[in-house]
Amino acid sequence: MDAQTVLYRRALYWRRVRRFTGVLIAIWFSMTFGLTFFARELSGFTILGWPFSFYMAGQGLTVLYLVIVAVYMQHMSRLDRLLDDEPADAE
């Protein structure tokens, strides 16, 4: 593999990493801010006797954060395979 191809693949890799990280941060921010901002309106719903906003703040957002981490880990594993066959002496 020539140096130009290696540089292109690295640039493509980092462009995808930055884009995906930006999407996950936007999801994180919108869910955290949105739930906090609309907590009064969401308290009308109840789940197992608890207001929806209380449930989401106490349990739901924690689960969402873990899902974001799991999705990030899985996606990054896939992206890392993009560079797996890159030769070690390409530096």
Give residue-wise pLDDT tens across range 4-43: 888 888 898 999 999 999 999 999 999 888 877 877 777 7
- The Cα 33–Cα 42 span in angstroms is 13
Considering only CA atoms, which of 52, 63, 58, 54 is closest in space to residue 28?
63
pLDDT category at 56 given cuts 50, 70, 90 is: confident
